[in-house]
Amino acid sequence: MVIRQISRRRFLQTGLCGLAAGAGLSLPLMLEPLPARALTHIRPPGALDAHAFDAACIRCGLCVEACPYDTLRLFDFDGSTQGGTPYFIAREVPCEMCPDIPCLQACPTGALDPGLDEINDATMGVAALSHPGLCNSYVGNSFCDRCVRACPLQGQAITLVIGPTPMGGLFTPVVDPDVCTGCGKCEHDCIAPSAAIRVVPRHV
């Protein structure tokens, strides 16, 4: 567990606002419901940007077959540009961050960039405390650091910031968007019935 202490002013400046900026969204937008697909459907590691990925992916499903954790699934062939392409839902089965990135190795077209050789450099998405009212530490119900302990990049991608929160708590999970890979382990392990911390896909 990694906890750091900052001033109240610094906390208010960099806490949720920093998370929103890292996700490329304003804070008010983050607190509004997003379309289910935009919020939950994350591309595999190494996915090109949305347009390039949809063009390069041949819908072969080899990445899904190569995943040893049954993380990946395919969109239904519904006539959309995303039909038949791979994704995962962090809350259900997060990316296990395989060092050899088997899904990428299985891709025959480069839709999953073969230039990605370190899984820790993946940019699948970015986590954010998008629903702070559901976080026990943020609202002061109890101390919880499940999201921090779940992160495979311990002490780097997510930390607990000490400081009073607007909802009466003393701890805030803060994500470094430059380090977060979007694997979804924090969202998956959040003990709230509906996750307080969620991964916003980078490729939508």
Number of domains in the chain: 2
Q: Are 103 and 44 a contacting pair, CB within 8 Å?
A: yes
pTM comes to 0.80
Domain range enclosing 184 = 3-32+125-201
Considering the domain architecture, whether residues 42 and 110 belong to the same structural domain is answered as yes
Token reading at 97: 């961050």
pLDDT band at 26 (very low <50, low <70, confident <90, very high): very low
pLDDT at 203: 74
DSSP H helix total and E strand total for the chain:
10, 8
User: Distances from the Cα of 188 to the Cαs of 60, 125, 139, 191, in angstroms?
Assistant: 27, 14, 20, 8
CATH number of the domain that residue 89 is part of: 3.30.70
Check whether 28 has a pLDDT greater than 70: no
pLDDT at 13: 35
Strands 41-42, 125-128: pairing kind: unpaired
Considering the domain architecture, whether residues 136 and 112 belong to the same structural domain is answered as no
Considering the domain architecture, whether residues 92 and 193 belong to the same structural domain is answered as no
The torsion angles phi and psi of 19, rounded to 5 degrees, stand at -65, -40
**pLDDT tens, position by position, 55-79:** 999 999 999 999 999 999 999 998 8
**pLDDT tens, position by position, 81-130:** 899 999 999 999 999 999 999 999 999 999 999 999 999 999 999 999 99
pLDDT at 1: 52
